[in-house]
Amino acid sequence: MVAFLDSLEHERHNTVASRNVRLAALHAFFRFVAVHEPEQLARSQRILQIPFKRADHRLIDYLEYAELQAVLEAVDRSTPAGRRDYALLATMFNTGARVQEILDLRACDLQLEKPYQVHLFGKGRKERLCPLWPQTATLLRELCAERQLALRPAVPIFVNQRGQPLSRFGVGYILDKYLKRAQATIAPLQGKRLHPHSMRHSTAVHLLKSGVDLSTIGQWLGHASLNTTNKYATIDLDLKRQALAQAEAPTTEALASWRQDATILEWLEAL
C-alpha cells in the first residue's frame, strides 16, 4: 500500500494533497473491512496506521469586488449565451453556492417575488434558503422568461446550447473565458489561480468585508462547522491592514530614555 502511495507521487506526479485524499479513501474502506471482515483485522490495522503527509497550504485566491465587476463587464449580454453566463456568474457570487448546487438549481427552487430567495441542496442533501439581491432576482426572472420557463417545473435553470444541463467543466470554461478578457484591464488577475470554487471564496470575503459576522457567513455558505468559515478571517489582507492600523505600534523612545539617566549609568559602572 505504501508503494502504491509512493507511485502516486513519484510516477504519476500527484501532489501530497492528492495522495492524502487517496489515503483517506483507503482508510475509510479498511475501517469498513475491519468491522465486517474480522479475519482481515490485522491487515486493516496496518493500513489504518499509514500516516498522512503534511502538505503545503496555498493561499486562497478570490476575486476582489472590482475584479468581479471587470469579469461581469467582460460578458457580452447581447447574445442568449452571454445573458445566461452573466446570470450564472451573478448567481454564483450572490449565493456563494458550490458549483454542483448551482448546476442542480431548478425553476421550482426560485422565489423571484419578495422575499427573493433560492432553495439550495448542499452536501448530504442538506437544504438551505439563500437570499437574493433584487438585481440577481431580475436576472434570473429575465433568463426564465427568455427560456419560457414557468417557476413551477423541476427543470434546470442553466443549460448549454443543446438544452442539456451545464457541467462543472462547462462552468469552468465560462469563468475562464471571462477571466482572460478581464485580465486586459485588471492586471492583478493574471497572478491569481482562479476556478469556479473561487466565486464561493469571493462571496465569503465580500460578506466579511461588509461587516457580516462569521456565523452568518457560515450559514449563508452552508458550512457544517464554523472552523471552515474561520479561514476567511485570515486571508483578507485589507482586514489585516485595518487591524494593524488600529493597533498601537511599539515605540523605542521610552526604552531608550535610560541612556540619558546619569544615575543609572553610574550605578551600572559601579557594579
Indicate which residues carry an active-site annotation. Answer: 98, 123, 197, 200, 223, 232
Residue 62 burial (C-beta neighbours within 10 Å; 0-12, 13-18, 19+):
buried
At 120, give phi and psi (nearest 5°). Answer: -110, 145
Which residues on neighbouring strands pair with residue 106, listed in sequence order? 156
Amino acid at 225: S
The rounded Cα 221 to chain-centroid distance in angstroms is 9
Which residues on neighbouring strands pair with residue 118, listed in sequence order? 110, 130
Beta carbons within 8 Å of 129's beta carbon, 6+ residues apart? 117, 118, 119, 120
Helix intervals (H) in the chain: 2-10, 16-36, 41-48, 65-73, 80-95, 99-103, 134-146, 168-182, 196-209, 214-221, 226-230, 237-246, 253-256, 262-269
Closest CA to 221 of 97, 78, 72, 121: 97
Beta carbons within 8 Å of 5's beta carbon, 6+ residues apart? 19, 22, 23, 50
